[in-house]
Each structure stands twice: as C-alpha cells, then as structure tokens.
A and B are shown apart, each in its own frame.
Chain A
Amino acid sequence: AQTVTQSQPEMSVQEAETVTLSCTYDTSESDYYLFWYKQPPSRQMILVIRQEAYKQQNATENRFSVNFQKAAKSFSLKISDSQLGDAAMYFCAYRSLPNFGNEKLTFGTGTRLTIIP
C-alpha cells in the first residue's frame, strides 16, 4: 500500500516571502499522480497543483510550483510571494492508476501554513 508522509506539522512564512512544504511517499508503482490540496478554515478541499509521474517537468500554477524527484519519491510544494490568503492546511496526496481494488487518493497528515503579516 502507498503511504504519504508530511514531516512538517506546522510552517510559517512572512508575507511576500517564499516557503517550501515537504512531502515524501512510498510506492512500488512506476506511474501515478501526485497532488497538493489546500484546506482553508472554510473546510473546503481545493486543488492547488497536480503532477503526473511520467512527466519529468515540474508542474507550475502561478505562484505555486513543485519539485518532483521521482527517484527520491519526493514531491515538495513551493509557494512564492506568500499572501495572507495562502494560510491553510496543505495536504499532499497520491493516486494510483486505474486498478480496481486500489483506487483511492491517499493523503498525508497535512502541514498547517501560517502567513505572518
């Protein structure tokens, strides 16, 4: 079974600075998907960014980018120019390719990000 580990329960960053959230995962599969989700106090789960494992190029979405290291099984999220609205819990997640009986999104335990004005 796959596991996702987020070793930083809490992080903080000054507004306008850059912060990196760490995520490692364990899998024996060669192809899969990785995600970062944001959960603000509203509780809604919001997709931030996604990465297909077969793509070597790191995904980027505006101020959010990832550093995907497949061999190291690492998938970190970099937030540039941090804004107050970025304050939230961030979850790293893993999804297998279709394989009935193994179809689920596996989540890490989350990192709470605080933005300091």
Chain B
Amino acid sequence: NAGVTQTPKFRILKIGQSMTLQCTQDMNHNYMYWYRQDPGMGLKLIYYSVGAGITDKGEVPNGYNVSRSTTEDFPLRLELAAPSQTSVYFCASSYPPGQGYYGYTFGSGTRLTVV
C-alpha cells in the first residue's frame, strides 16, 4: 500500500526554469492538496482539488499551476522558477470529512532549491 507518492525527492532549479512535481495516491481519495513549508514555518496551502477536473487556489497560489485529470494524480507545475519558491513541497490526500477517515495522508515531500 503505497499511500501518497511524490517525485522527485530533491531538485535544484535555475531561475526561470520550469518543472513539474508529481503526486499520485492509490487510496481513491477525492481530495488532494499541495502545501509548501518554508524553513521554521508551518505548511501553507498552494492549491487543492476536491475531485477530478476540479481545482481551486489556496493561500499562496502565485507562480504555480495544477491540473487533476484523474483521481490518482495531482501534479504541481512551476512555470518560471524564482528564489522565493525555494521550499519543501508536500502533497496530501484525504476523504471528505464525514466519509471515512478524515485525516490527511502526506507524501514524503520534495525539497526544491532555486538558484
């Protein structure tokens, strides 16, 4: 049972480059999320999705894009990397509250450095 799988685990980007952070879950969760964690801080929501084809912005969406074509996958796209996007990125998934276990299952994170 893999849970939430994120790739890559580490990445160094140059300013202006683009990349996609991959996230896939095998628990048939409707809800998926992308968070970023800056040093010494809590997690802030970038984007989330309540089902295939439905996405919405979180607290800090600028500079990112997402898509949700399947229940399993929720990739995060950085189009023009900036140093301010240096962070650890977490993908998570869950059932909606009221439908089974409502806690989040997190991936192991991607450490991204933009230089």
Contacts and interface: CB of A to CB of B under 8 A. Distances in A.
Nearest to A42: B108
Q: Chain A interface mostly helix, strand, loop or mixed? A: loop
Interface residues of B, number: 25
B108 A107 contact: no
B97 A97 contact: yes
Contacts of A42: 108
B52 interface: no
Contacts, number: 56
B79 to A, nearest CB: 23
* Residue among B48, B96, B106 with the highest chain A CB neighbour number at 10 A: B106
Contact of B42 (A47, A50, A96, A107): A107
A100 B103 contact: no
B58 A44 contact: no
A95 B97 contact: yes
A110 B43 CA distance: 9
B48 A104 contact: yes
Given A45-B106, A107-B42, A110-B41, A101 B56 contact: yes
A65 B58 CA distance: 31
Interface of B: 31, 33, 40-45, 48, 50, 56, 58, 88, 90, 92, 96-98, 102-104, 106, 108-109, 111
26 contacts: A4-B42, A43-B88, A44-B106, A44-B108, A44-B109, A45-B90, A45-B104, A47-B103, A47-B104, A95-B97, A95-B102, A96-B97, A97-B97, A98-B96, A98-B97, A98-B98, A100-B50, A103-B50, A103-B96, A104-B33, A104-B45, A105-B43, A105-B104, A108-B42, A109-B40, A109-B41
Given A33-B102, A105-B33, 8 more contacts: A45-B92, A47-B103, A50-B103, A91-B42, A97-B98, A104-B33, A109-B42, A110-B42
